Amino acid sequence: FVHDRDKTNALTRLFEIEPIHSALIFARTRAETATLANELVIRGIPAEAIHGDL
């Protein structure tokens, strides 16, 4: 289990230690999706936010 406040750090660590070439990460809202994508890019992990516009 990962607490909400630690999820971005856990994802970052996972991308640092595992040979992940692509991934889909789901978030609850468009805002959370954009925030996560921006934070990953800041940390040097290529990311884009996409949503279904529902």
Q: What is the pLDDT of residues 5-32, one digit of tens each?
A: 999 999 999 999 999 999 999 999 999 9
Minimal CA–CA distance to 31: which of 49, 4, 9? 49
User: 3-state DSSP: the chain helix, strand, coil percent, rounded to 5?
Assistant: 50, 0, 50
pLDDT band per the 50, 70, 90 thresholds, residue 54: low
pTM: 0.85
